[in-house]
Chains A and B, each alone.
Chain A
């Protein structure tokens, strides 16, 4: 059933537009949002693997009747194997990530509907728009299509911050948009250079042209294109120098929206990262460049996270720091390391979503996120506190949780490639993550309750607890049976190298 492949993008978009129309009708908004949020993770499970050509324009080589009617100089040239249509490719790897995104999105929407008193139609609209955009970024095989949805995702993220009504959210949104509007056109310019050199924006065609020596792969134009696209990638993923703006975005959104926002960032990061790896990995210094930026992200992220007193900002910096591990996977460039990096990406989406929703309940209870003013919340719901603690352990890489498995794989991969220094840094950052998390956990839950702390709400809503429990269950399952995720990823990476 290849027809399901475009539906993964179309259904959230249609739902988003519908929700925007139903702006004021709270109940119908709620029902439609929940139904579509359930449908979104189910579609990738029932769809078949394969390629989808928009408009049905398959490459000439796949269409023998048309090919035989053409003159020989076209039929025998490389033109016959080029893709004229926008192509979506859907395999086990995409299935895994779209499913995880769908799960996280479902819990984010579920928690959001239970924690806010008035259902916000625009927020739902923007969330679904973002889901559609990110799914398209993951599926597409067309670099310009990726840029278009990347811009839509950036606008949706800005919109999600605007709806949150937290202090200074408009300032952060404007800052992000200004930085984004410089990064976006530069990415477009890089795509323009690629188009100028290769004459196509389809990634498979570009890779084919490079590997068959049709263009000069070391020409200055290609290097310039790489530089511009790499800059766009840094902006999209929030690696340094953009780590501050990215983490402040997470902290200005409401925690359940932030759970979804970090999922968007991670998936954009790996999707564009895979594209850059496929096209430019032959360049000298490519791997060194990515390793340097990843290590910078890890070190800067963790050092900034230790200093924060606001737990939302702390989580934001931790999320940015964890991206460094994924980058290391790309940077080392071996089969094992890329598998490990992508597995780490899958784990990170789930764990960070868990932590954002978990600490979001603190925000819901007390209406503050300053760790100096908090304390003694263990008595409100001990089970919830323990679940959040285990989630933090998963992020730091404590066995037998999923974060441990992926970080172990990354450390193994760096040892195999002959970089023991990198593995030492990775272990140190992991320990620092553990310390930061335990410190925040202590000051929120274990420290004696300050006298002036008043609870706004007396208990945590059930949907939030259910979301955290199920996300934790996924963490434990992936930790004990990592091959569920690593098998499809490893198979995909085998085709990449």
Chain B
């Protein structure tokens, strides 16, 4: 039998790199706004995964201190919890940015009738009479 082991931390780093590369590709090269937004969500997920991976410890335990644990043993075996605290905040920020972007995309769809960035942001805009449809005040949920 051949012993086949892959370091989990390394594999997770490669996964996050793949997320970021795929996300950057989608955000830069794809034309559809919804696809661009999905790509941006992937970039954020990749960055989060990268930061969580930094705190991983091979053969470690979840950093929750239970009663009866030896403090020194806990300190030597638990994962590093600071990145986890940071990622919690950044997940919520990512979700709220996504919500604001989708809201803007929906308003722009009502104006142009298309989701293509070439139509909305490009120079060859169709001459649509700009009616006063844009009245609602979109606000993202900026809870931290």
List residues of chain A with CB under 8 Å of any chain B CB: 20, 120, 122, 125-126, 129, 144, 147-148, 151-152, 155-156, 158-159, 162-163, 165, 167, 170-171, 173-175, 177-178, 180-182, 184-186, 188-189, 192, 195-196, 199-201
Contacts and interface: CB of A to CB of B under 8 A. Distances in A.
Contacts of B66: none
Contacts of B97: 151, 155, 177, 180-181, 184
Contacts of B137: 120, 122, 162-163
Contacts of B32: none
A185 B23 CA distance: 11
Interface residues of B, number: 41
Contacts of B139: 20, 122, 125-126, 159
Contacts of B7: none
Main secondary structure on B side of the interface with A: helix
Given A174-B108, A192-B51, A185 B43 contact: yes
Interface string B98-136: 001100110110010000000011000000001000100
Name the 3 nearest CB pairs between A and B, nearest first: A181-B40, A192-B51, A185-B47
B48 to A, nearest CB: 8
Interface of B: 20, 24, 27-28, 33, 36, 40, 43-44, 46-47, 50-51, 54, 80, 82-83, 86, 89-90, 93-94, 96-97, 100-101, 104-105, 107-108, 111, 120-121, 130, 134, 137-140, 142, 144
Given A162-B137, A174-B33, 8 more contacts: A126-B139, A155-B142, A159-B100, A178-B27, A181-B27, A185-B20, A192-B47, A192-B51
B47 A188 contact: yes
17 contacts: A122-B137, A129-B142, A151-B93, A155-B142, A159-B139, A162-B138, A167-B130, A177-B97, A177-B101, A178-B36, A181-B44, A182-B27, A182-B28, A184-B97, A189-B47, A195-B51, A195-B82
Main secondary structure on A side of the interface with B: helix
Nearest to B42: A185
Contacts, number: 105
Given A170-B108, A201-B82, A165 B134 contact: yes
Contact of A195 (B83, B104, B120): B83
B50 A189 contact: yes
Contacts of A177: 97, 100-101, 104
Contacts of A173: 104
Contacts of B20: 185, 189
Given A151-B93, A158-B100, A170-B108, A192 B142 contact: no
Given A122-B137, A192-B50, A185 B104 contact: no
Nearest to A74: B75
Contacts of A175: 121
B96 A155 contact: yes
B109 to A, nearest CB: 11
Given A182-B24, A195-B51, A195-B82, A170 B43 contact: no
A120 B94 CA distance: 27
B22 to A, nearest CB: 13
Contacts of B96: 155
A171 B134 contact: no
Contacts of B27: 178, 181-182
